[in-house]
Homo-oligomer: A and B are copies of this chain.
């Protein structure tokens, strides 16, 4: 049984484990006061071509989202997200638990645009309603789509004009930036959003997200927020070592590229088998629509998520690839599809 269920099924890239081994007995200060965290932050600033940002390393995406968003907002301020947005549906009300409403917008492609945000603003007219303040986007999105530079620039300008904060959840930012359809550089992002995070957990780390705070007014006292929300690891070195390893010579990009390459093979294989897709997702998640018999057959050897029922005989599935996905397994999966489909046709 091989899994395409998610991009966190394995441990960490071996170079990361190696780095943990090598540094293991060096004594360091706790809570991120260690040399490794500092080196990680330095290399990240270099890659971002921006030394003015503040960078903090956290353990996971929900933790990063809740710590950042609750720190950035006053009590009456709210988040705008798509209804597929991770903070809206898949974080057990973590944002609301810190006191803030998440306003959702229905979208086709998982992406927010200024017109949609404008509609929300127009509905929130006075103090009897929350005040929409932070626009939450994910790149890549929860359904694998990505923002291009034009789209992100439009959002930035709209947010600036309307005094909104723009926050990007980058749990899968590596995959987005390595997409063949991407025209954004990592160094563009800190000039386009107010804060974002670079996901490590889904791109080769054991755990870890690097939160980048770009807007000056959001930086003050952020370490207090980390501690209060339980996000300051005693052995902060664990995060520093990993991010340094991921960025010191572009391992991060290599791993994301591999994940995307594997997804491309899966995508091509599905297309070759005449399968259509629920959405055009040029990253490491794809959503082919399969006849149910094919799903049943594939489930004998592969695990994956059934995303949604399309009609009485078809469902969309989700296939996710990662830095650890094996090319031979991908090719076997594609071959299996072809064989099962061909066999069916013959019958």
Binding site for B on A (CB under 8 A): 2-3, 5-6, 8-12, 14, 17, 20-21, 23-31, 59-67, 70-71, 74-76, 78, 89-94, 96-102, 127-131, 201-202, 206-207, 221, 223-235, 237-238, 324
Contacts and interface: CB of A to CB of B under 8 A. Distances in A.
A338 to B, nearest CB: 24
A207 B238 contact: yes
A40 B76 CA distance: 26
5 contacts: A10-B25, A11-B24, A17-B17, A60-B230, A93-B100
A228 B14 CA distance: 31
A interface, over-half SS: loop
B27 A9 contact: yes
Contacts of A129: 89-90, 92
A92 B228 contact: yes
Nearest to A30: B8
B24 A224 contact: no
Contacts of A202: 234
A64 B25 CA distance: 26
A227 B8 contact: no
A17 B14 contact: no
Contacts of A231: 63, 230
